[in-house]
Chains A and B, each alone.
Chain A
């Protein structure tokens, strides 16, 4: 296995407010890393740093050995290697589904339109949305939009995919279809970094769990089942307990 993403001593602050402290992480090709933690702990900001949407104040991030530096010209090249899917989908509302999909591959990577359309059609079919090809985003449900957003990221052939709470804005019955899509991706060997609050999904998909709190990695676990059964740190225990309590409420 080869190292794809490396983060060394990452430090990020907004003014005086330190949001990420001394983060170190190494992700290998094909690995699925799930990041969990309470709201406001810095997990989304961490993902945004990885593709240069946020400037960092210290440390080094490399993808495929190349440094991620926001504001530099090379960042557009690097971002093609890093797909990102957002909580609020962020499809382009003025473009149809198919035009959303082919925009970046044809304009950024200068690939042939017919070839991209062929691939897009194939991927849409795989996520069960082929019949929505010519729809506009406003005509789709949240779950459908999110699957289109995933396909849009995939079409750039990224080497690593970042998912930022992609099911958090969805109605419960839509969550499943999106998670299913992601699970398939994970099984097909994609390298993924996933921020989520879906604990059972995290347990099913993760090769490794990172538990963030207060801008730090508090616990890192390769034994995913073990982590969810019996986390080592007190803070992780407390965090997981809030979910048990939640689910108990709904029974």
Chain B
């Protein structure tokens, strides 16, 4: 392995990491919003929206992100909607992630005993107040392991962005290999940078999980 090569590539990888993180976190933030909204719709069993949410979940969980991105990037402009590659990445990740986040939030919500809701209602709370102040906080802490697994999964999925010419880590590696054929150095850097991106999330995740379990409501 040629360390001079690695050193000279470093700035490019740093830029790529920055872009991957930027799109990644925006997409994850969007997926959490979608997840929460979807889980609330399912929780309250809101009529038509409930069906739409169900279809959405199945659609996005059963098609590859690559296909979804192609759709957003190449098909939407055909019907007059033009979005940048970055927006496309955020949207794709957010929508794919949203489908998984809904399921994680939902499993948390379903694990809260019905009588907790009844207890809150008995105090005169509305269904909405009960959801926000009593059920959701408990559900979220139960959902944390699932949500974190989704975050890691989504950050890894960003590698697909290279196909819509976003200069993410994967794109940078492929590009450099194509130009200079320093395959080993490029792949080595690629692995290292993915670890730099994901290890902190994993570690933070397990700390958070342990904390939550320690604070476990264990009633």
- Tell me the A residues contacting B by CB distance below 8 Å: 48, 51, 53, 76-77, 79-80, 82-84, 86, 88, 90, 92-94, 103-104, 107-109, 136-138, 152-153, 156
Contact = CB atoms under 8 A, between A and B. Distances in A.
Interface stretch (B11-19, B102-110, B118-126, B183-191): B118-126
Given A86-B115, A104-B123, A94 B218 contact: no
Given A86-B115, A93-B138, A108-B129, A76 B219 contact: no
A78 B133 CA distance: 20
B116 interface: yes
A138 B129 contact: no
30 contacts: A53-B121, A53-B122, A76-B121, A79-B121, A79-B123, A80-B123, A80-B124, A82-B122, A83-B122, A86-B115, A86-B119, A86-B122, A88-B115, A90-B116, A92-B119, A92-B133, A92-B138, A93-B219, A94-B138, A94-B141, A94-B217, A103-B123, A104-B125, A107-B129, A107-B133, A137-B217, A137-B219, A138-B219, A152-B123, A156-B123
A79 B125 CA distance: 8
A94 B137 contact: yes
Interface residues of B, number: 21
B201 interface: no
B137 to A, nearest CB: 5
Contacts of A84: 119, 122
A195 to B, nearest CB: 15
A83 B123 CA distance: 7
B177 interface: no
B125 A108 contact: yes
B134 A92 contact: yes
A82 B138 CA distance: 26
Nearest to A93: B217
- Consensus secondary structure, chain B interface: helix
A53 B137 contact: no
Contacts of A86: 115, 118-119, 122
B116 A92 contact: yes
Nearest to A108: B124
B217 A79 contact: no
Interface string B159-197: 000000000000000000000000000000000000000
Given A92-B134, A94-B138, A138 B122 contact: no
Contacts of A153: 122-123
Interface in B128-148: 129, 133-134, 137-138, 141
Contacts of B122: 51, 53, 79, 82-84, 86, 153
Contacts of B126: 76
A76 B125 contact: yes
A136 B216 CA distance: 11
Contacts of A109: 124
A204 B191 CA distance: 75
A108 B134 CA distance: 13
A137 B119 CA distance: 15
Nearest to A53: B118
A76 B134 contact: no
Given A53-B122, A94-B138, A156-B124, A138 B133 contact: no
